[in-house]
Amino acid sequence: MADSVRLEYMIDGDNFTSAGEASVMVKKSLRQMGFDPETIRKVSVAMYEGEINMVIHAQGGKATVDVYDDKIVIVLADRGPGIPDIELAMQAGYSTAPDNIRSLGFGAGMGLPNMKKYTDEMTIESEVGVGTTITMVVNV
């Protein structure tokens, strides 16, 4: 436990143009620690999708990445509206993104499915009106 590296990022919900920056910083740090390209790709895609979701739906939040030598744990926590039906939200193509976001190519309903696809474990804890915490694990 003591040997892990904790990387923390505040995701700015007011600034859509900076969405995805934490993912780039995580990628740089993982590369400096010598992780293999495939692991880095998985973490950065999952992280990127989660970051975009937090900005679109939850006015931002906090990302905590704990790096162990055999796994990487990503925790994305927000105080947004919460997800009423997690099963529905997990369906490919289902999206509640507003139209102005869709015009940029987002909101295809692939965020959560991609996060699941690129990680080895994913749990969603969500309460309507309180917020959402997503924990993802990528095994090295």
Partner 1 sequence: MSPTDFYHTHPITDGEILTHSVTLDVTKCKGCTTCLKRCPTEAIRVRDGHAVIENARCIDCGECIRVCQHKAKKAIFDKLEDFADYKYKIALPAPALYGQFEGATDLDLVLSALVDCGFDDVFEVSRAAEIVSEYTRKFLERNETLPHPIISSACPVIVRLISVRYPLLVENVLPVMPPIEIAARIARKEALKKHPELTDGDVAVIFISPCPAKVSYAKNPIGIETSAVSGVLSIGEFYFKMLSAMKKITEPTVTAQSGIIGISWAGAGGEASALFNEKYLAADGIDNVIKVLDEIDNGNIRNLDFVELNACSGGCVGGVLNIENPYIAKARLQTMRRYLPVSLNRVGDCRLDNYEWEHDLEANNVSTLDGDRHEAMRKMREIVALTESFPGIDCGSCGAPTCRALAEDVVRGKANPDDCIFLMRDKLRMMVDKGEINCKNCPKNKANPS
Residues near partner 1, by CB under 8 A: 3-7, 20, 23-24, 27-29, 31-35, 37, 40-41, 44-45, 48, 67, 69
**C-beta of 31: minimal distance to partner 1 in Å?**
6
**C-beta of 35: minimal distance to partner 1 in Å?**
8
Place of tokens 């090295």: 140
**C-beta of 130: minimal distance to partner 1 in Å?**
30
* Contact assessment for residue 127 and residue 60, using Cβ atoms and an 8 Å cutoff: no
| C-beta closer to partner 1: residue 5 or 130 | 5
**C-beta of 88: minimal distance to partner 1 in Å?**
25
Identify the CA nearest to 65 among candidates 11, 130, 127: 11
| C-beta closer to partner 1: residue 69 or 121 | 69
| C-beta closer to partner 1: residue 86 or 108 | 108
Q: In what order do the strands lie in the sheet with 131-139?
A: 5-12, 60-67, 71-78, 131-139, 121-127
- C-alpha dihedral (14, 21, 67, 29), degrees to nearest 10: -150
| C-beta closer to partner 1: residue 45 or 112 | 45
3-state DSSP assignment of residue 41: helix
Maximum CA extent, the chain = 45
